[in-house]
């Protein structure tokens, strides 16, 4: 297996922790988030990882090096302009027929090898690891018709959502629709693939997952340190 780690974001939502270091290097339990992910990829059987970098790329390259200390090969793709989440994949010319893609700021104990095999078994164009989130709305929610008459009311309801975990398996043929050197996000890709009736498969997961996008998420990761300690090894 080969993998691409998306590590080019500015991380503005995670300020002040990202004021001087890129988000993938923010430590959890003393270990940079991206290093935890690299160790997981190695355990899953990944032999080569591409790091798509932009913001503070030199710091990431200096810390991770050539990957030998993790037992795999690391190559870098440096964007000369922000290309969003999927656009950087177009810069990589030697990707295999199927490959893992992961955001560089997620913590999860998902078995990446099982996700990869699921993708192959289902002959998917794209497989998306998904998670069920329950969000509580701290307001009274009203529903009204076009004339303004209230037809329903719910006090502080809970809503269920199925969300992307930020880890995927791509088939290389998907990249044919990605434009050259233009910003192109995962939202663009999903809409374009669905419009083409491509085979997009969900991989529901119920274990541990945390997207470290905000200070509250980062604090939660530190609180969960004992639960996720095995990810640090």
Contacts of residue 6, Cβ cutoff 8 Å, sequence gap at least 6: 52, 85, 88, 101, 102, 103, 104
**Spatial contact of 181 and 88, defined as CB atoms under 8 Å apart:** no
Q: What angle do CA 229, 231, 233 make, to 5 degrees?
A: 80
Give, as one character, the DSSP assignment of residue 65: T
d(CA 200, CA 135): 25
User: Computed from CA positions of residues 220, 221, 224, 227, in that sequence, does the dihedral angle turn out positive or negative?
Assistant: positive
Is the link from the previous residue into 16 a cis peptide, with omega within 30 of 0?
A: yes
Which single residue is written with the structure tokens 């639960």?
227
Residue 25: DSSP 8-state: G
- Is 156 part of the annotated catalytic residue set? yes
Q: Strand 31-32 vs strand 98-103: parallel, antiparallel, or unpaired?
A: unpaired
Tell the residue number behind the tokens 């529901």, with chain if given: 204
Q: Which of 156, 182, 197, 220 is catalytic?
A: 156
Instruction: List the catalytic residues.
Output: 156
């Amino acid at each position: 297996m080969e993998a691409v780690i998306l590590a080019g974001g500015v991380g503005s939502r995670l300020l002040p922790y990202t004021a001087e270091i890129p988000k993938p290097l923010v430590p959890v339990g003393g270990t940079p988030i991206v290093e935890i992910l690299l160790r997981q990829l190695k355990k899953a059987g990944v032999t080569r990882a591409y790091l798509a970098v932009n913001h503070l790329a030199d710091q990431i390259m200096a810390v991770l090096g050539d990957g030998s200390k993790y037992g795999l090969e690391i190559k870098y793709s440096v964007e000369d302009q922000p290309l969003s989440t999927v656009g950087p994949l177009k810069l990589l010319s030697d990707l295999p027929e199927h490959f893992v893609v992961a955001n560089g700021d997620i913590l999860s104990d998902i078995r990446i090898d099982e996700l990869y095999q699921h993708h192959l078994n289902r002959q998917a164009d794209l497989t998306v690891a998904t998670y069920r989130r329950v969000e509580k709305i701290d307001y009274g929610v009203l529903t009204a018709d076009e004339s303004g008459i209230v037809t329903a009311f719910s006090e502080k309801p809970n809503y269920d959502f199925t969300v992307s975990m930020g880890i995927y398996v791509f088939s290389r043929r998907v990249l044919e629709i990605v434009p050259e050197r233009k910003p192109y996000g995962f939202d663009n890709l999903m809409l374009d693939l669905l419009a083409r009736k491509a085979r997009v498969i969900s991989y529901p997961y119920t274990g541990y997952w945390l997207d470290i996008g905000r200070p509250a998420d980062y604090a939660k990761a530190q609180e969960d340190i004992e639960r996720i300690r095995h990810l640090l090894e």
